[in-house]
Amino acid sequence: MYYRQYYVSPIGRLSLVAGEEVLYGIWLKGQNHFQSGFKEEELADTSNPILEVTKKWLQAYFKGENPSPDDLPLAERGTAFQQRVWLALSEIPMGQIRTYGQIGKAISCRSAQAVGTAVSKNPWLILIPCHRVLPSSGHLGNYAAGEYAKRFLLRLEGLRFAKP
């Protein structure tokens, strides 16, 4: 059984999906790859302990705190390559950024495009900080949840970017 709860955040309505023991994802309503891998009829709109801990984590994050993602048990998802990329993302400290090229170098992948594709399919929005990855040009770049959300999250973490 999969449980879903919505969390109203400053960037919009987040869908949180969990099982009995793990968190499967956090998605912004309308983002690319929204609730990827789940059908509506599989989701029970009710809470469970994993979702309650996730909501507390999000509350702390949006207050500007730096809660540890290690507090949340994540489901094993994605390909081996995606998992390597997502692990590299999880190691980016709050308030810092990396480029797709730097992530690629860290995981021994020469294709920034392949890294970007894996980043865009990250199912744990905010928790695994894909918003902290920018193109080497220094521009804000794309974000599965949209430019407003990426800009908001980076500002919350103390980073500022001028409009292009």
Residue 109: active-site member:
no
- Which candidate in 11, 130, 144, 149 is catalytic? 130
Q: Cα–Cα distance between 82 and 87 in angstroms, integer?
A: 8
> Nearest-CA neighbor of 2 among 131, 123, 120, 121?
123
> Nearest-CA neighbor of 132 among 154, 161, 113, 104?
154
CB 159 within 8 A of CB 17: no
Q: Cα–Cα distance between 113 and 104 in angstroms, integer?
A: 9
> Nearest-CA neighbor of 115 among 101, 97, 134?
101
Q: Cα–Cα distance between 50 and 38 in angstroms, integer?
A: 17
Which residues have a catalytic role annotated?
Answer: 130
